Structure 1
């Protein structure tokens, strides 16, 4: 058994989608990192189903959006959501979202959400980064201990296949080790429960003939509406024949019979193969602290929430973006370590907001009254289903699947963001208007074919100049402080209207740091605030 010392800038613990996103952002910023993942990286029971629209923008940043689209989801498979008594029986309500081939891009983004389940996404990101020694990922590698010091962090790791060990010396560590994060617990950080814990059962199965049988009735998600047993999603995981059913176990906590539950949910005589079943705990928790010394918590180690609405992984990817550029700015020497304090300031409130919105979606399903008559093949059953259809048509059921305010319409508030006398525009989860208000995600607009304003952001600060303002003083100030800055003159009146002000200064993560019609009087202080000198 051999022992060695490894030096790197950032140690990442956990190789799920969020840990891999953390490594991708650090690589994008030119920062060296090491990622350790205890498993072999094989995903037997996929959890994540769809990459959300903001995450797709972030993957676009890394040059991976097209790879996500090409991962395997059939272009002609409907992305609809349907509420049914069983997949092959009565349909009560359907939200039609078309297929990827039919769908057009939304006006507010260069990307749209796309199905890419866990067992496709993790290998895709792993291949992009590379497994050691070709890349930073170390599979079958367990963190044995982690210590935060004044100089940085010291971690002890073990390579499980060889038995070799290593000491990792880094400036920072990022814990992406999941909801039951051992690192968070070791650091003594609590998570506060916002809602009661619930137990669910996921059943993964193959039904290879089902898509052809359904034909035009295919959907991305079928919500079961069985009064006594099933009322949770049955989701297509590959658009071909792999499905996942979410159910509740028996009252004593023992698993439900998987084959019986699947047959009841499918409601069609077709070959079915149960691949796996697992019990899992749904918690609505947010960590009290996102940082302990030089250790940071990202993704499920910082927050857990209901999958209703699809905010979980996508919230974690945005965590990685926020922390990633800040770590890079500090390590590259143009920002103060104080800037890292704004990671929690900016991201914690948004985790709480996502938890609450996801729970509202869950409660909508839990509280829906399902009369037994909707199961009947009779005129009485027809009337009951029609009444349920009318109720759903006049409810806000669409909000779970169309929440741009959660994905895009949030504002960061921290000492690193400029303040304005006016309050920001009111944004709702299901209603959102793009704005350049400080702290918001800078608006998307097409500059030319396939080139968005969002494509201008990523490295250093970016100033968008929609007028003829002389910005020499800003350029000189940033040069004097070694702050990377690029400026763009944009002479498009329509884009200028969207951006609202003549000058808009945007951070590397694409969020507005400051805006105005003229440069600020305290230019020196403004740039210092943005880079963490408060």
Structure 2
């Protein structure tokens, strides 16, 4: 646990020996939080003050705290949990999320903690871990025909990082950089006072004391049972769920089995055997190579979700899935439901929700924590700019406008990925209730007749379709924003996906500098080569970035003037032959979408906000005018005048 995160300030309070006699001022003093006192005419005695209150310390809340601290902002983060995640729920961390964390220098630390690509080579379908294999598919950028797509898309690479390892890094970084982080502290309710500030009532479960936190901003990152979403009564789009799943965390050394079965996901199906209702089939997921695993069991339709199998029953099913006499120990059992839920909007006033609080779905495609982190990255710079007076409050409206469609798309994709597996199950004969029927279907796969050939083709087609889950680069990287936070008035045509992405936008990502797209990754260098630098690293870090090239000096002058005029940081980088940055592979030439003297303006979250084809034919003041107009539009200044 991070040294600044305490969960036991008053050890006797938890068992009730001190009751409610501990003054709130003592708790706040011990916890390093500011309190108001009765000599103030505007605040309630004993009330804690902060400008930013985050509810939830999971991937969404903790990453938001990290990103806010990068702007020098400090606040309080609370969590009803006693500590960071105790089970490795989310695990695939994709390149889009890593680019966000790279902005504050955490990507390398997380990579060192992770299981890298060599552990993620395949997804498999098998009779057991030790037994026969039905099929396998390359995953997460390891298909020979897809490796280049991943390398061209980002300076990062996908990693397998269990939530148990991710969360402590985020919480520690946030706590050490200004977010007072408190576990065992639950949000009870909140209200808006006459000044428009938010009064949150929280319960300290260690001291058994309830107190209030007065804040300007409230962030609901409190998961699928979000109290913030519930009290805001945010409208939810709810589709029928797809049932129960059971996570069984197991300590077992399977290193002898994975030598020729390398991969982090192994679907286990035994249609030729009787099976318990609570686990007719499932997934064996690597947590730590190769001695800690999550056995994800799927109950059949006849299973009563209220029944609780014995530990011995779970252990027997684990042994069935392993398939040999390897010792195994169950560490934890938990249940979850396969949901398809998204909030219709993510915010109201100065209250913002993110992560599982607003989008709930199965873990297919590995989109959960990744989307949480990207929600936070989108919101943090907007909050910082508004809070510092660099943008009007209307900029905050673009958070929901931009991220809610992303949330809707990822819950749809994740649930479709789960449904895609139905075809695999059908081809392998796992669906019929009678074991004799299942055995007949499975044996049919071996037969040299039209029925056997038809079933083998069905299996091949079904396995191939799962590439949309395990190689869904497009859904990970191809998000495009629309709305007032994007200025596309200079674009002759609306955005359209091109190339392979136009044919399949789940599988393929085609980088573009069209406003609303993420900044393309391109490796650059100096004329006398040093360490390569990505365009991703030149952008972000809390500032707007303007990319130009040969003949674009007028944009540099304009950027300086507009930055001074609006009080907004703008970094300028010139790319081209004998410019500050050399386009050594000519990739920027191919992707920039403007002339050499054109301009590509990138927001602090590395999303292209606007671009200009070339330097205007008039004077340098035209560059100034156009750049100023674009940034004003993105920040929402065009409708509200100068701040």
CA displacement at 1:143 relative to structure 2? 2.2
CA displacement at 1:347 relative to structure 2? 0.6
Indicate the residue corresponding to 2:197 in structure 1. 152
Matches within 5 A, 1:518-533: 518=615, 519=623, 522-533=626-637
Q: Gapped runs of 5+ residues in structure 2?
A: 1-21, 26-34, 36-47, 431-436, 526-530, 577-582, 616-622
Match status 1:305 vs 2:374: no
Indicate the residue corresponding to 1:2 in structure 2. 23
Deviation readout 1:273-321 (Å, 9 max, x if unpaired): 1222222112111112211221100101111112111111111111001
Alpha carbons of 1:183 and 1:86: their partners in 2 closer, same or farther (altered >3 Å)? Answer: same
Indicate the residue corresponding to 1:334 in structure 2. 390
Indicate the residue corresponding to 2:544 in structure 1. 461
Alpha carbons of 1:233 and 1:136: their partners in 2 closer, same or farther (altered >3 Å)? Answer: same
Match of 1:295 among 312, 335, 351: 351
CA displacement at 1:457 relative to structure 2? 1.9
Match status 1:27 vs 2:69: yes
CA-atom RMSD, angstroms? 2.7
Indicate the residue corresponding to 1:116 in structure 2. 161
Match status 1:60 vs 2:102: yes
Between 452-461 and 246-255, report the one with greater CA deviation.
246-255
Indicate the residue corresponding to 1:45 in structure 2. 87
Alpha carbons of 1:76 and 1:322: their partners in 2 closer, same or farther (altered >3 Å)? Answer: closer
Matches within 5 A, 1:212-227: 212-227=256-271
Q: Is the 8 A contact 1:29 1:328 kept in 2?
A: yes
Indicate the residue corresponding to 2:303 in structure 1. 251
Match status 1:482 vs 2:527: no
Between 315-324 and 151-160, report the one with greater CA deviation.
151-160
Name the SS for the 1:349 alignment partner. helix
Indicate the residue corresponding to 1:424 in structure 2. 495
CA distance in 1, matches of 2:454, 2:269: 14
CA distance in 2, matches of 1:225, 1:422: 50
Indicate the residue corresponding to 2:130 in structure 1. 88
CA displacement at 1:67 relative to structure 2? 1.3
Deviation readout 1:203-249 (Å, 9 max, x if unpaired): 111112x2224422232100123347544321011112111112223
Name the SS for the 1:196 alignment partner. coil
CA displacement at 1:509 relative to structure 2? 0.2
Match status 1:497 vs 2:580: no
Matches within 5 A, 1:182-261: 182-208=227-253, 210-227=254-271, 230-249=280-299, 251-253=303-305, 254-256=307-309, 257-261=313-317
Alpha carbons of 1:386 and 1:264: their partners in 2 closer, same or farther (altered >3 Å)? Answer: farther
CA distance in 2, matches of 1:48, 1:375: 35
CA distance in 1, matches of 2:465, 2:206: 52
Q: Is the 8 A contact 2:445 2:456 kept in 1?
A: no
CA distance in 1, matches of 2:455, 2:50: 58
CA distance in 2, matches of 1:338, 1:147: 22
Indicate the residue corresponding to 2:579 in structure 1. none
Indicate the residue corresponding to 1:168 in structure 2. 213
Between 355-364 and 423-432, report the one with greater CA deviation.
423-432
CA distance in 2, matches of 1:70, 1:387: 46
Between 194-203 and 501-510, report the one with greater CA deviation.
194-203
Name the SS for the 1:353 alignment partner. helix
Alpha carbons of 1:270 and 1:529: their partners in 2 closer, same or farther (altered >3 Å)? Answer: same
CA displacement at 1:379 relative to structure 2? 7.6
CA distance in 1, matches of 2:593, 2:475: 22
CA displacement at 1:58 relative to structure 2? 1.3
Matches within 5 A, 1:3-18: 3-4=24-25, 5=35, 6-18=48-60
Q: How many residues align?
A: 531
Match status 1:140 vs 2:184: yes
Indicate the residue corresponding to 2:5 in structure 1. none
Q: Is the 8 A contact 1:74 1:239 kept in 2?
A: no
Between 118-127 and 17-26, report the one with greater CA deviation.
118-127
CA distance in 2, matches of 1:76, 1:478: 45
Q: If the length of structure 2 is used for normalisation, what is the TM-score? A: 0.77
Between 466-475 and 311-320, report the one with greater CA deviation.
466-475
Alpha carbons of 1:57 and 1:131: their partners in 2 closer, same or farther (altered >3 Å)? Answer: closer
Matches within 5 A, 1:276-425: 276-368=332-424, 369=426, 370-371=428-429, 382-383=446-447, 390-394=457-461, 395-419=464-488, 420-425=491-496
CA distance in 1, matches of 2:631, 2:69: 25
CA distance in 1, matches of 2:241, 2:624: 48
Name the SS for the 1:508 alignment partner. coil
Indicate the residue corresponding to 2:29 in structure 1. none
Between 1-10 and 175-184, report the one with greater CA deviation.
1-10
Indicate the residue corresponding to 2:524 in structure 1. 447
CA distance in 1, matches of 2:139, 2:611: 36
Name the SS for the 2:564 alignment partner. helix
Larger radius of gyration: 2
Deviation readout 1:336-357 (Å, 9 max, x if unpaired): 1000001111011111111111
Name the SS for the 2:339 alignment partner. strand
Match status 1:126 vs 2:174: no
CA distance in 1, matches of 2:625, 2:564: 18
CA distance in 1, matches of 2:442, 2:365: 34
Q: If the length of structure 1 is used for normalisation, what is the TM-score? A: 0.92
CA distance in 1, matches of 2:200, 2:263: 46
Q: Is the 8 A contact 1:290 1:298 kept in 2?
A: yes
CA distance in 2, matches of 1:478, 1:200: 53
